[in-house]
Amino acid sequence: MPRENWQKGKMKKKTLLVLVVALVASTMIFASGDKEKKSGSVSSYKIGFIGPLTGDNANYGVMSRDAAIIAIDEVNAAGGINGTPVEFIAEDSEGTVEKGLSAIEKLAESDKIISLVGPVFTGPTFAVGDRCQNQGIPLITGSATHADITNIGDMIFRTVVSDGLQGEVAGHYFYEVLGYRNLAVLYAKNDYSQGLYKSMSTAFESLGGKIVDAETCMIGDKDFKTQLTKIKQLKPDAIYIPDYTVEMAQILEQAANLEVGAPFLSCDGFSNPVIFDLAGEYTDGVVYIAPAQVLKSEAYDKFVAKYQAAYGISPDSFATNVYDATKIEIEALKRCVAKGTVTRAAMRDEIAATKNYVGVGGLINFAENGDLIAYQGVYKVKGITPEYLGAFKVVDGKIQQVK
């Protein structure tokens, strides 16, 4: 350091010292205040949430969080659990591993949550799931679909089917029931979308079908004309678009404007009614695979009405899954309280013991590894109204309708 700066630097040191002391002191003050609040008997049960609340994918995190809040509000409006309210603490992951880890650290160590809902996307879920497993915090995710998520350990559950299962049903349905032989795919380079593409194409090709073209895009892309122009020339029987709502709305509109003509096939991302606001003129005839029964129950209609009243938009199937996940955690918590042992381990056992829970998204049972046992439903859109064609499963390499 040159001398002149060194001397000035010396003078600055005092300012610096004051600044650091002030920062640390303010931290301590906040911290002690924090502790005072906590001493005393259990004033509330805490359930945490992690999802992207800011950044590019904030939309999906916010919808999921809002759904969980409805579930929490319901139990608190009914007087909580034996008079003790359930506290819901949502943390922002910004869709990154780094922020996901700081979020779980805060929830686990500072808030001492009893269980976690989320994370929303697969990427941070691996890192957060590892910590949860390590620290014994049960977790239910409503939207992380990667097949390996539940292999992290016995603390991990989900109320969404793995993309492997959905893609398998999709591949069989497209080939066996719809009779398509040549498919084009336009998927996003993101864990969810790519996972669906891979499992669907594996099943479809194993039956003898052919993927004539697999085009990619990025989440957040708005212009798909290049990919659609390429696909149009290949004249596929149909186009599979396992993407998110906003991207699919763009694809449908631009495909219509390019007069592509082939019918579109989709995934549970299509269950978001926002698609009909964004691209209602172009949704007629789309067939999509999503959790079975979503549109059939009265409970579902009630939930949608509540969600609409609170937020002005309709929930998608991920938000529905998160609502069910939160409800299951609340029910498990109730059983823990009734038995008198409110610990994370007890929570985990009660969640695992969930049997035939009637959620708004259908009947929920967990497999041994924490995966959701569910059938896939097939829907066909007429105008802007999805019609339920029934539930399907694949048995011995053949698709079967579940009665």
Q: How far is CA 286 from the centre of its chain?
A: 22
**In whole angstroms, how close is the CB of 310 to another protein at the nearest point?**
12
Q: Is 277 in the site for another protein (CB under 8 A)?
A: yes
- Binds another protein by CB under 8 A, chosen from 58, 212, 337, 352: 58
Least Cα distance to 135 among 351, 371, 369, 343 occurs for 343
User: Closest Cα partner for 121 from 216, 221, 52?
Assistant: 52
Residues in 188-217 at the binding interface with another protein, rule: CB under 8 A: 188-191, 194-195, 215-217
* Cα–Cα distance for residue pair 271/380, rounded to 1 Å: 11
Does 284 sit near another protein (CB under 8 A)?
Answer: no
Interface with another protein includes 373 (CB under 8 A)?
Answer: no
Per the structure block, which two tokens stand in for 380? 């066909």
Nearest to another protein of 111, 205 (CB atom): 111
User: In the window 233-252, what residues touch another protein (CB under 8 A)?
Assistant: 233, 246, 249-250
Distances in whole angstroms, Cα of residue 98 to Cα of each of 73, 105, 131, 138? 30, 11, 13, 21
- Determine what percent of the chain falls in helix, strand and coil, rounding each to the nearest 5: 50, 20, 30
Query: According to CB under 8 A, which residues from 145 to 184 bind another protein?
Result: 146, 148
Q: Is 313 an interacting residue with respect to another protein (CB under 8 A)?
A: yes
276 near 383, Cβ under 8 Å?
no
Least separation, in Å, of the C-beta of 356 and another protein?
33
Q: Helix H segments across 213-297?
A: 225-234, 245-257, 274-279
Instruction: Identify the burial level of 342 via C-beta atoms within 10 angstroms of its C-beta, where 0-12 means exposed, 13-18 middle and 19 or more buried.
Output: middle
Binding test (CB under 8 A) with another protein, winner from 68, 117, 131, 138: 131
Query: Given the rule CB under 8 A, which of 68-76, 225-233, 283-291, 381-389 is the region that contacts another protein?
Result: 225-233
Helix (H, G, I), strand (E, B) or coil at 238: strand
| Residue 16 makes contact with another protein by CB under 8 A | yes
By the rule CB under 8 A, 43 interacts with another protein: no
Q: Which of 21, 109, 338, 402 binds another protein (CB under 8 A)?
A: 109
Residues 324-353 contacting another protein, CB under 8 A = none
Nearest of 199, 212, 204, 206 to residue 173 by alpha carbon: 204
- Please report whether residue 36 would count as binding another protein according to CB under 8 A: no
- The minimum distance between CB 365 and another protein, in angstroms, equals 27
Q: Which of 43, 44, 135, 401 binds another protein (CB under 8 A)?
A: 135
> Of these, 227, 266, 271, 376, which contacts another protein (CB under 8 A)?
227
Q: CA–CA separation, 5 vs 374, rounded Å?
A: 68
Shortest spacing between CB 290 and another protein, in angstroms: 20
Residues 77-96 that bind another protein (CB under 8 A): 88-92, 95-96
Which residue, 84 or 133, has its beta carbon nearer to another protein? 133
Does residue number 97 form part of the binding site for another protein (CB under 8 A)? yes
Helix axes 317-339, 298-311, angle to 10 degrees: 110
Task: Please state the closest distance from residue 348 (CB atom) to another protein, in A.
Answer: 18
Give 85's DSSP letter. Answer: P
